[in-house]
């Protein structure tokens, strides 16, 4: 009888010790191994995939029809961009009579990652006008797609001739 508790005691201690080590290993492992997940947003896995433009449109909008919006959208781009690294672009959408313009997507057909930028607007305070500088890889269409608050999609596109690509090798 007197021997039994000792045996149990030892086993339990060993067990606890083992568990503790396991726990420690579990806690330290992620700290040392994988890079900090919160900060590493620029890794390839987190970028938009390299894909043809059709796949991008399908991924963004599913099968929803995209109407021609050239009458209400003013897309300004140079006809010829000598330097593809800096291509000034601006787009202005005439506000719809009902609802508002929720967002504007800029998609360039011939870039490796066609999805360029998405502008989100608020219902009342902002106006559907934006401008920025794009990087274009080679000559091709640039599309601006406006999504209205009721889900309608409108598109305007323009071809830009690029003399020197802006996306590096």
State which of positions 83-112 bind another protein (CB under 8 A).
85-87, 90, 108, 111-112
Taking the complex as a whole, the smallest distance from the CB of residue 43 to another protein amounts, in Å, to 5
> Which span (10-18, 38-46, 52-60, 65-73) binds another protein, by CB under 8 A?
38-46
Count of C-beta atoms within a 10 Å radius of residue 61: 16
Of the residues 52, 54, 55, 133, which one makes contact with another protein according to CB under 8 A: 133
Q: CA-based Rg of the chain, rounded to a whole angstrom?
A: 27
Q: Is 59 in the site for another protein (CB under 8 A)?
A: no
Question: Residue 62, interface with another protein (CB under 8 A)?
Answer: no
CA dihedral 49, 53, 58, 59 (to 10 degrees): 20
Measured CA distances, 141 to 148, 160, 166 (Å) = 22, 6, 15
**Least gap, CB of 8 to another protein (angstroms):** 51
d(CA 166, CA 138): 8
Taking CB under 8 A as the rule, does residue 12 contact another protein? no
d(CA 5, CA 76): 85
- Using DSSP's 3-state secondary structure scheme, residue 114 falls into coil
Q: Which stretch binds another protein (CB under 8 A): 8-16, 23-31, 79-87, 146-154?
A: 79-87
Work out whether 33 is an interface residue with another protein (CB under 8 A). Answer: no
> Which of residues 22 and 117 has its CB atom nearest to another protein in the complex?
117
Integer Cα distance of 136 and 109 in angstroms:
9
Residue ranges binding another protein (CB under 8 A): 35, 38-48, 50, 85-87, 90, 108, 111-113, 115-122, 125-127, 129-136, 166-169
């Amino acid at each position: 009888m007197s021997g039994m508790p000792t045996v149990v005691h030892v086993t339990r201690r060993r067990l606890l010790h083992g568990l503790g080590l396991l726990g420690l290993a579990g806690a330290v492992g992620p700290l040392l191994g994988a890079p900090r997940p919160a900060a590493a947003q620029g890794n390839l896995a987190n970028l938009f995939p390299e894909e043809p433009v059709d796949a991008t449109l399908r991924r963004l909008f599913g099968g929803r029809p995209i109407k021609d919006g050239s009458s209400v959208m003013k897309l300004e781009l140079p006809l010829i961009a000598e330097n593809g690294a800096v291509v000034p672009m601006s787009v202005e959408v005439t506000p719809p009579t009902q609802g508002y313009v929720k967002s504007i997507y800029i998609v360039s057909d011939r870039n490796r990652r066609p999805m360029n930028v998405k502008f989100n607007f608020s219902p009342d305070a902002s106006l559907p006008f934006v401008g920025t500088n794009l990087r274009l890889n080679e000559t091709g269409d640039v599309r601006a797609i406006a999504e209205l608050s009721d889900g309608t999609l409108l598109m305007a596109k323009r071809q830009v001739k690029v003399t020197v690509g802006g996306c590096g090798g």
